[in-house]
Amino acid sequence: MDKQQRLEAINKIIKAIGERGRGFFSDKKGNVAHFVLVGGQRKRLHFRNADGTNVNPYDLRRDYNFQGGGTLWALVHDFKDFILLGGHTNGKHGYGGLLASGWGYADHEMDEIIVLAREVGFLRQLTTTV
């Protein structure tokens, strides 16, 4: 999976989060935050809030343009690392990731988000041992 494909996969997860539960990453008008690659030959990754403002996802400190709390900010960094580097980054930035229990979404909504995250490759697939 290349960088553009990983970006599209993450944007699907963000959209799913915004359309469910508490509507994180979305606004009352139905707009949803997303990642974009900007530039010519050397593209730079940007995160756009639901209102269209840009956020610098490279700075680990809080960007004051970001319209979410610390848990979502950590998730943005996990998403950024996945887009840029590939590999599994869920929970790398210290909050428990998509599998954490503190999202405040209904169980069935979180299950839908987790299934999608596995399908697009952000979360590892469940394995069974015999």
Domain definitions of the chain by residue range = 3-119
The pLDDT value recorded for residue 60 is 74
**Residue partners of 103: CB distance under 8 A and separation at least 6:** 21, 22, 110
The pLDDT value recorded for residue 114 is 93
Collapse the DSSP code of 80 into the 3-class scheme (helix H, G, I; strand E, B; otherwise coil) and give the result.
Answer: helix
**Nearest-10 Cα torsion for 11, 5, 48, 74:** 70
User: What pTM was estimated for this model as a whole?
Assistant: 0.90
The pLDDT value recorded for residue 126 is 65
Q: Facing residues of 37 across strands?
A: 45
Q: Facing residues of 38 across strands?
A: 44
The pLDDT value recorded for residue 127 is 55
pLDDT per residue of the chain (130 residues) written in tens, 0 to 9? 899 999 999 999 999 999 998 999 999 898 999 999 988 777 889 999 999 998 888 877 766 778 888 888 889 999 999 999 998 888 888 788 898 888 889 999 999 999 999 999 999 876 555 4
